[in-house]
């Protein structure tokens, strides 16, 4: 029996999923929220259908990890800490250095720290999680899984921006992308559903959540993706603008009497997207509900759909075709209406939606007709399972021993 825990540590939260790796069964999952703030919240689901919930102060990540492992013993999810053989940590920015998941040692820690300028909020939080687990589970193998590493296979023409080349050479400015673990996971599942080797396929994965990105996956490798140097670019999102004209920012800074660039970028990150266009909400459900009576809400939905259609069209052209289109994450998994609106506009590619199947709920469904030239899928993403699989693979492949951190 080998238990592996997948960790996603944010600046004030820590999400986890504990797997029994032989069967990939989820033994427990949960969230420690509002770490370092008044009124922290803990929620753990475990067993057949049990739930533990409490509100209490969670002073820092180290305390959260101690409390989590203590609760796992109390709730009899585990009987001793040593049952957890591996810990997989999501790390947001891996730069060009981390091209795949790696066993964590002191050098890896230093490198993640040095890449913090690319993800100033996330990488330090990820490191807090790594260190907290290392203190309590010193013998478990710790592995870092990067959001960016899947996209390291993109050809240069797809990651170099059309700006002075020295910006890339001196400062590492390029397209890094995001949601790599999710795109990688759903592509694997789509290939097995198609019963064809991933290496032979051209897929387009649409991760449509509050953050949203589209990824062209050619022969199993990320070929192009819509997020850029930061997660601000690409399609319109819950509160992020997606692609826009940077010269407009200088104009608006003058108009709004803004004195710093971060102030303007804040508006593009937090006040734009569905929220900015509709003025209603950043939540697609609210926006869709208002759309029949509010033209701005309808416009937000229309722009969201158009952006997806535009990226799918351009990625199909870039790859020279497409075998499958995958929908995943909150909107992609739950909104039959958005999926249908996107796919209908792609009928020129020979895509036919099976509207009955599109309404089905559940795991891994093909929603195109049998005669459709391109298959369309709904595949619930599972980044945590992908993280746990990477830990398992690294533990088996190299017989990696847990490294001491200095």
Q: Which stretch binds ligand AMP (CB under 6 A): 61-69, 148-156, 219-227, 284-292?
A: 284-292
Q: Which stretch binds ligand AMP (CB under 6 A): 64-72, 228-236, 239-247, 325-333?
A: 325-333
With CB under 6 A as the contact rule, the residue among 285, 393, 398, 401 that binds ligand AMP is: 285
With CB under 6 A as the contact rule, the residue among 31, 210, 258, 405 that binds ligand AMP is: 210
Q: Does 326 bind ligand AMP (CB under 6 A)?
A: no
Residue 307's H or E segment, with its range, is helix 295-319
Q: The tokens of 271 are what? A: 């006040």
Q: Does 302 bind ligand AMP (CB under 6 A)?
A: no
Radius of gyration from C-alpha coordinates of the chain: 22
Q: Does 359 bind ligand AMP (CB under 6 A)?
A: no
Cβ–Cβ < 8 Å for 335, 206? no
Q: Which residues pair with 222 in a beta bridge?
A: 217
Is-catalytic flag, 147? yes
Q: Does 335 bind ligand AMP (CB under 6 A)?
A: yes
* Residue 83 Cα distances to 20, 77, 229, angstroms: 10, 10, 39
Backbone phi, psi, residue 214, to 5°: -115, 140
Cβ–Cβ < 8 Å for 258, 248? no
With CB under 6 A as the contact rule, the residue among 88, 129, 177, 209 that binds ligand AMP is: 209
Which C-beta is closer to ligand AMP: that of 243 or that of 289? 289
Q: By beta-carbon distance, which residue lies closest to ligand AMP? A: 330
Shortest approach of ligand AMP to residue 256 CB, angstroms?
27
Q: The tokens of 159 are what? A: 């990651």
Q: Does 236 bind ligand AMP (CB under 6 A)?
A: no
Cβ–Cβ < 8 Å for 147, 92? yes
Give the Cβ contact number of residue 137 at 10 Å: 20
Residue identified by tokens 């599109």 is 358
> Which position among 33, 147, 354, 392 bears the catalytic label?
147
Cβ–Cβ < 8 Å for 174, 160? yes
Total interface residues for ligand AMP by CB under 6 A = 12
> Could you list the residues that contact ligand AMP (CB under 6 A)?
209-210, 238, 283-285, 288, 329-331, 334-335
Active site residues: 147
């Amino acid at each position: 029996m080998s238990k592996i825990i997948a960790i996603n540590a944010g600046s004030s939260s820590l999400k986890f999923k504990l797997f029994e790796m032989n069967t990939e069964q989820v033994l427990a999952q949960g969230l420690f929220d509002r770490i370092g703030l008044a009124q922290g919240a803990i929620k753990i689901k475990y067993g057949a259908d049990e739930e533990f919930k409490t509100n209490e102060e969670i002073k820092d990540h180290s305390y959260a990890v101690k409390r989590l492992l203590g609760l796992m013993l109390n709730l009899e999810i585990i009987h001793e800490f040593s049952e957890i053989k591996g810990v997989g940590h999501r790390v947001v920015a891996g730069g060009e250095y981390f091209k795949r998941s790696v066993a964590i040692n002191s050098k890896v820690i230093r490198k993640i720290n040095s890449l913090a300028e690319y993800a100033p909020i996330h990488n330090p939080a990820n490191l807090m999680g790594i260190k907290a687990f290392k203190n309590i589970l010193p013998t478990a193998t710790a592995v870092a899984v990067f959001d960016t590493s899947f996209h390291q296979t993109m050809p240069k023409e797809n990651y170099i921006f059309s700006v002075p080349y020295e910006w890339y050479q001196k400062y590492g400015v390029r397209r890094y992308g995001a949601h790599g673990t999710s795109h990688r996971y759903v592509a694997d599942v789509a290939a097995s559903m198609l019963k064809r080797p991933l290496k032979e396929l051209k897929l387009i994965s649409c991760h449509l959540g509050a953050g949203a990105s589209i990824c062209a996956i050619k022969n199993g490798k990320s070929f192009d993706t819509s997020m850029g140097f930061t997660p601000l670019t690409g399609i319109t999102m819950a509160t992020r603008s997606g692609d826009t004209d940077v010269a407009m920012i200088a104009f608006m800074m003058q108009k709004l009497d803004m004195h710093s660039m971060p102030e303007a970028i804040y508006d593009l990150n937090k006040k734009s997207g569905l929220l900015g266009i509709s003025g209603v909400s950043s939540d697609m459900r609210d926006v869709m509900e208002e759309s029949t009576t509010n033209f701005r809400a309808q416009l937000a939905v229309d722009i969201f759909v158009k952006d997806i259609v535009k990226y799918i069209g351009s990625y199909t052209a870039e790859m020279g075709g497409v075998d499958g289109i995958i929908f995943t994450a909150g909107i992609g998994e739950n909104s039959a209406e958005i999926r249908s609106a996107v796919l209908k506009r792609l009928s020129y590619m020979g895509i036919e939606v099976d509207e009955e199947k599109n309404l089905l709920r559940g795991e891994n469904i093909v929603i195109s007709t049998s005669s459709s030239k391109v298959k369309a899928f709904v595949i619930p993403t599972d980044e945590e399972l992908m993280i746990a699989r990477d830990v398992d693979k690294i533990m088996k492949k190299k017989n990696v021993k847990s490294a001491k951190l200095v």
